[in-house]
Structure 1
Amino acid sequence: MIYDCLIVGGGAAGLSVALGLGRVNRSCVVFSHQNHRNKDAKHIHAVLSRDHIDPNSFYHLSRQQIARYQNTNFVEAEIVDVARTAEVLSNFVARDAEGRSWQGRSIVLATGVHDLLPDLEGYVENWPANIYQCLFCDGYERRELPKGVLCYPSFNPMMAKMATMLHCMSPPRVERDQPATERSSQPKVTVFTNGPPNVHCDPKIQKALDTCAAHRMLIDTRPVVKLVADTEKEGVYVHVRNEDGSQSAVHMAFLFHKPSTAPAAPRLLSQLGVELSPTATVALARPPFQSTNIPGVFVAGDTCTEMTHATNAMYTGMMCAAGVTHYCNDLDDQTALASS
């Protein structure tokens, strides 16, 4: 069978492509596997009508609704090779690790990114249960507890912006015997700078620190040594080194830290010759329909944007569906004219 579209990636982006194609009766196959970025997430947040939903339930419901259109196949497989072909009716072929192959007239790469976790002891063990990289996605449920911004490897002005978000998320801690005038003076957020910030290299750094101080945040300039998960309650202990060489452990309900990312399937992007951003962190998508520099190749979701959220993945996926539809329409028009 030759599909109208091969969709590599079964997350929110890839499924949105399939849903859009279903509405216009275009055939597609969606490839997915279990080793995806948010496999350890407990809930999906900030998605209208699906807030706080279990990810497995979200994907199950999405597939159930797509199946209604009877033109999508779902395949559990990790695609390891993709290529353009010289076939008249098929422009692309995708192969999995078992040697199975599928043909399509177009292809969408919705393969996402993977997080480059820092080499800090205990980081992996606390990710993502106690370390959050998106405050729209996580953090609200622990908002009343002490929380921190992990500036690793070092402090930069953007960290102050995230600290302000945490500060505004935090309700005033009210103690019954505490005077009202003192209630707002307690630090709600700790900024761990992992050593004294170098205020001389960038004037914005000093302004960022002043902003944190103005919000009465606690700025902890001690070097961060390791992170240890709290086994008795939610949270993590941040171990910092004191001036005398000893260590202190500071308990936080959670930490904000956004690690760098890289394409999860660079091999596939390279095989098709898809152009990447100057930093090689995302594929370059052409608006409005998420096309690339290669005709018939489209990208969606985290593969092509640094705004990594389910809603953005869904939007770019639907735009992809429109792009694929127009592309296949053009192929059909050419065939009709040639045979007339």
Structure 2
Amino acid sequence: MINSTTYDVAVIGAGSAGLQAAQTLGRMHQSTIVISNDRYRNDPTGHMHNFLGHDGAAPAELRLAARKDAEAYADVRFLDVVGAGVTRISGELGAFVLEVDGEPDVQARRVLVAAGVRDTLPDVPGIAENFGDLVAHCPFCHGHEYAGTRVGILGAAPHVAAMASMLLPVAVERVVLTHGATLDEATAAGLARTGASVVTTPVADVRKAGDGLIVTLTDGEEVALGGLFVKTAWQPSSPFAEQLGLATSEVGAIRIDALGRTSVPGVYAAGDLAQGPELPMPMASVLVAAAMGQVAASACVQDAALARIA
């Protein structure tokens, strides 16, 4: 069954990108439906940082306040779904159909995808339990919280040297845990130049101890840390890029132009799954995601306006 209402814009996702998009669209009197399954990338963390005016706030508090703002506009409707949320998108500019788990289909003239991504953590016992607090993946979000301590970096890929260099003003000591892998010459040389130490013995487990972590190596040695940075493997939390034939980047993100437009007319993207021009990867940040949501929503409005006068 297809809902008889056709919305100007269907926003998929109610994180910071989707909520800001909804507020922008509501202020411009665009009939908007926001479809959410209440799953968020930053759920594991109790506090978010590096966000103007909200440094240290709980992510859920920001979402609650942002949703209240968006709901104040009569043209915005929220559809909270238990389950998979939107399972399929088909159609074209002016006539998209969104299939929603357990709900009637939704029709929309334009679609703004802000469904986010899913992280896969390194398979080391204890990392998942401490992720978002004493284990993190972003130094801009959590680095300051480890200030004045010995900070660990798990991995042997080239990024560990850059991470160690960024943490030089923050940590009193930086230790790279290669987890049994071998560093290439350039990475090893970069780490040596920054004074970071390297431990090659594989990691057996990670556990919380007081205000910090204890990393136990497979030979029984223990390394005390104030925090540990890991690299997550991520993938889009939805199959919409494949379903709609959207252009994607080498890392699997949806490619967008400077205004959030994808390669398919009428489809826009914002947030952690969207990669702008000339960027090597998506800029994963709550504040950046919100800004992208505002820009993409503005493009929806402007494109509709231009179509009416063409």
Do the structures match in fold with TM over 0.5?
yes
| RMSD of Structure 2 on Structure 1 (CA) | 2.0
Contact 2:149 2:225 in 1 (8 A): yes
Q: Pairwise mapping of residues 169-318 of structure 1 onto structure 2 (< 5 A)?
A: 169-170=170-171, 188-195=173-180, 197-199=182-184, 203-213=185-195, 217-224=196-203, 226-230=204-208, 232-241=209-218, 246-265=219-238, 267-279=239-251, 281-287=252-258, 289-305=259-275, 306-318=282-294
Q: Which amino acid aligns with 2:226?
A: A
Contact 2:10 2:33 in 1 (8 A): yes
% identical equivalent positions: 27
SS at structure 2 position matched to 1:148: strand
Partners in 1 of 2:8 and 2:122 — Cα distance?
Answer: 41
Q: Which 10-residue stretch deviates more, 42-51 or 77-86? A: 77-86
- How many Å apart are 1:312 and its aligned residue? 1.4
The 4+ residue runs of structure 1 with deviation greater than 6 A are: none
For residues 9-63 of structure 1, give each alpha carbon's deviation from its aligned partner in whole angstroms, at most 9, with x where no partner exists. 1011111211221222212111112222111221121111111111111011111
Contact 1:160 1:211 in 2 (8 A): no
- How many Å apart are 1:76 and its aligned residue? 0.8
Q: Which amino acid aligns with 2:198?
A: I
State TM-score, norm by structure 1: 0.81
Q: How many residues align?
A: 297
1:164 aligned residue: 165
Partners in 2 of 1:125 and 1:96 — Cα distance?
Answer: 32
Partners in 2 of 1:286 and 1:294 — Cα distance?
Answer: 11
Partners in 1 of 2:53 and 2:125 — Cα distance?
Answer: 38
Contact 1:105 1:328 in 2 (8 A): no
For residues 184-209 of structure 1, give each alpha carbon's deviation from its aligned partner in whole angstroms, at most 9, with x where no partner exists. xxx5222212236344xxx4223213
The structure with more radius of gyration: 1
Partners in 1 of 2:106 and 2:181 — Cα distance?
Answer: 55
SS at structure 2 position matched to 1:250: strand
Partners in 2 of 1:206 and 1:233 — Cα distance?
Answer: 32
Higher strand share: 2
For residues 131-171 of structure 1, give each alpha carbon's deviation from its aligned partner in whole angstroms, at most 9, with x where no partner exists. 111111113223233221111xxx2332122112222113x
Q: Which amino acid aligns with 2:261?
A: S
Contact 2:33 2:77 in 1 (8 A): yes
Asked if residue 135 in structure 1 is aligned to residue 129 in structure 2, the reply is no
Q: Which amino acid aligns with 1:251?
A: A
